[in-house]
Amino acid sequence: MVITATQLMMLTKNFELLNQLKESAKVKSGCFDENDTFIYSTSTHIKYMFASECKTTGIFKSIE
């Protein structure tokens, strides 16, 4: 996983791109769960990114 202030890139061990996403808000923190899903937070949302071919991302919850 490569994280910049506004971009997330999920890579394999050989640096092949699995999934990427550009965020409008700054990425604050994140971690992987047991299913290789990356869960992360911005100043406005708690979001997820799957490490699969379908390149799925989404929002768990909005933060007030």
Interval 31-53: pLDDT, tens: 999 988 899 999 899 999 987 76
| Cα 58 off chain centre by | 9
Rg (alpha carbons) of the chain, rounded to whole number: 11
Q: Report the SS3 class of residue 47.
A: strand
**Closest CA relative to residue 19, chosen from 32, 33, 4, 38:** 38
- How would residue 15 be classed by pLDDT, with cut points 50, 70 and 90? very high
What is the CB-side half-sphere exposure of residue 59 using CA atoms within 13 A?
8
Which pTM was predicted? Answer: 0.82
